[in-house]
Amino acid sequence: MKRYLPIIISVLLAASVPLFANGQKESGQASGQQQINLGAIWWGSQTRDERTIAAIKLYEKDHPNVHFTYQFAGWNDYWTKVTTQAAGKNLPDIMQQDYAYVTEWTHRNLLTNLDPYVSSGVIDLSHTSAPYIDGGKVDGHLYAIDLGANSQTWVLDTDAFKKAGIPIPPNDWTWNDFEKITMELHQKLGIWGMGPNLTDEQIWKSIYLGLGEWGYAKDGKSVGYSSDKPFVDFLNMALRLQKAGAIPSESNVITYLNKGPEQLPIVTGKSAMAYVWSNQIVALQTAAGADRHFTLHLLPRIAGGKSSNYIKNGQFFSVTSQSKNPKAAAEFINFITNSVDANKILLAERGVPISTIVQDALKPLLSPADAAQFNFVGLVATAGNSSPTPPPDPTGAANVIQNVYQPQVIQPVMFGNITPEQGAALLRSKADAILSGKQQ
């Protein structure tokens, strides 16, 4: 099935119009029945775009009265785009949502309560277990349908490790192990040991998860950890690696911020390790080519701490409150959730599907990359390899990340303008003010 996917996609896309200048595509009109116009938007890689569009075309073929307009963007550009659309009251019917944002968007009354569509059978979750469903709930009500489970992962280029004579580390490797290995890879191979995403905000939060804490307090009104020292130690490690040339300089890191996983230096052999979400291995492997050999590995942990990994509801689909056709939008989400044919096209690119029927149907069709993410999520789910899944990020978290974490903490620290101690203290102070509502 995998080898025929490009042919299937090209046939299904034959009727689509060219890409608009702004990254938007529009499908052809259907006729005969009363027309239903649906808009959809998502972020992701080129692989995701192609597969999602092909699934949409399949849905339109079976529902000739439904006409889709769809848009897509990179991660950072996506949230700027949908925030602008929300302010202008022109959000599409269906939007891709993230675990970190679903609470905030719900509390801003921008998402539709999906409970009525589940109870009426429009959305069928009878083959889905509670952990996959509960992640899309806010205040006890369902606002988002999980598109696939995943976890954070270190991608290791096994050929690079072999060439350097460095063994693959154990599952419980520490940050001290990571620093040593990164230095050795750089010294022996002359490439970056680790790629440009070491200081991603998700790693900041997961450092504390391994200590039984989290980036945010349970009430969402402050940071959730007692000591800045673990974060300070992490930043000092990153500075040492940067000074040694074992990771990209911050000026290089900035050039990668809005690029998809296909653009990471591990794809071209310029780094030996990368940090991504497990579902992104599909895009990485596709871009790198079948002759490259990657393995998915658990995150490093603080010595004496527990795993920093957790099972995460990946991306969601939500119906926006600005939708003019919420039931039709819910019907499409049901299709993406439960259609075996649709998921044979999507092939778990967003993570392991939530329907057990779909999971069973896909297993014989999986490429090595698809199988790798299935196996990795299974590894994380086993005892000792993960910590409890934290709650969705609170209202204000997006403000913390976009306006404080990166521009006021990470970049100044990595450029040497402030110390790690100053950066950690500033993050705590400003995050507490934002989350408590004292600063907007």
pLDDT exceeds 80 at position 436: yes
CA 282 vs CA 45, 99, 277, 362: distances in Å: 10, 21, 10, 15
Of all residues in the chain, the percent with pLDDT exceeding 90 is 73
The predicted model scores a pTM of 0.73
Provide mean pLDDT across the span 289-299.
96
The residue with tokens 């896909």 is 362
pLDDT of residue 418: 98
254 versus 3: the higher-pLDDT residue is: 254
pLDDT exceeds 60 at position 10: no
Q: How many CB atoms lie within 10 A of CB 412?
A: 17
- Please state the three-class secondary structure of 335-397 as a single string: HHHHCHHHHHHHCCCCCECCCHHHHHHHHHHCCHHHHHHHHHHHHHCCCCCCCCCCCCCCCCH
The residue with tokens 């998809």 is 260
Q: What's the mean per-residue pLDDT of the chain? A: 90
Provide mean pLDDT across the span 21-43.
66
Fold of 152-309+396-435: D-Maltodextrin-Binding Protein; domain 2 (3.40.190)
Helix (H) or strand (E) holding 249: none
Alpha helices in 135-174 (DSSP H): 158-164
Q: What is the pLDDT of residues 308-336, one digit of tens each?
A: 999 888 799 999 999 999 999 999 999 99
pLDDT exceeds 70 at position 429: yes
Range 183-208 burial, b when 16+ CB lie within 10 A, else e: bbbbeebebbbbbbbbbbbbbbbbbb
- Decide the pairing of beta strands 145-146 and 316-319: antiparallel
Q: What is the pLDDT of residues 52-93, one digit of tens each?
A: 999 999 999 999 999 999 999 988 899 999 999 999 999 999
* Distance, CA of 152 to CA of 276 (rounded, Å): 6
- pLDDT band at residue 131 under the 50/70/90 scheme: confident
Angle at 233 between CA 232 and CA 234, to 5 degrees: 90
Which of these ranges, 9-13, 118-122, 400-404, has the smallest mean pLDDT? 9-13
Provide mean pLDDT across the span 281-293.
93
Provide mean pLDDT across the span 284-299.
95
Q: What is the pLDDT of residues 240-276, one digit of tens each?
A: 999 999 999 999 999 887 778 889 999 999 999 999 9
pLDDT exceeds 90 at position 19: no
Tokens of 93: 């019917």
pLDDT of residue 32: 52
CA 22 vs CA 13, 37, 70, 91: distances in Å: 19, 20, 11, 16
pLDDT of residue 120: 98
First and final C-alpha spacing in the chain: 51
CA 437 vs CA 80, 201, 432: distances in Å: 22, 21, 8
- Decide the pairing of beta strands 66-73 and 36-43: parallel
pLDDT of residue 440: 55
**Which CATH architecture best describes the domain 2-149+314-380?**
3-Layer(aba) Sandwich (3.40)
Provide mean pLDDT across the span 422-432.
98
Q: How many CB atoms lie within 10 A of CB 418?
A: 17
pLDDT of residue 168: 97
Helix (H) or strand (E) holding 141: strand 141-142
- Environment class of 327 (CB within 10 Å of its CB; exposed 0-12, middle 13-18, buried 19+): middle
pLDDT exceeds 80 at position 296: yes
- pLDDT band at residue 99 under the 50/70/90 scheme: confident
Q: What is the pLDDT of residues 154-201, one digit of tens each?
A: 999 999 999 999 999 999 999 999 999 999 999 999 999 999 999 999
Q: Which of 197, 179, 204, 325 is nearest to 252 (CA)?
A: 197
pLDDT of residue 383: 82
pLDDT of residue 75: 86
CA 258 vs CA 73, 78, 160: distances in Å: 9, 10, 26
Tokens of 356: 């057990």
Angle at 21 between CA 77 and CA 49, to 5 degrees: 60
Q: What is the pLDDT of residues 349-368, one digit of tens each?
A: 898 899 999 989 998 998 88
* Cβ–Cβ under 8 Å, residues 57 and 49: no
* Cβ–Cβ under 8 Å, residues 230 and 408: no
Provide mean pLDDT across the span 361-379.
89
- Decide the pairing of beta strands 137-138 and 141-142: antiparallel
- pLDDT band at residue 12 under the 50/70/90 scheme: very low
> Could you give the residue range(s) of every CATH 3.40.190.10 domain in the chain?
2-149+314-380, 152-309+396-435
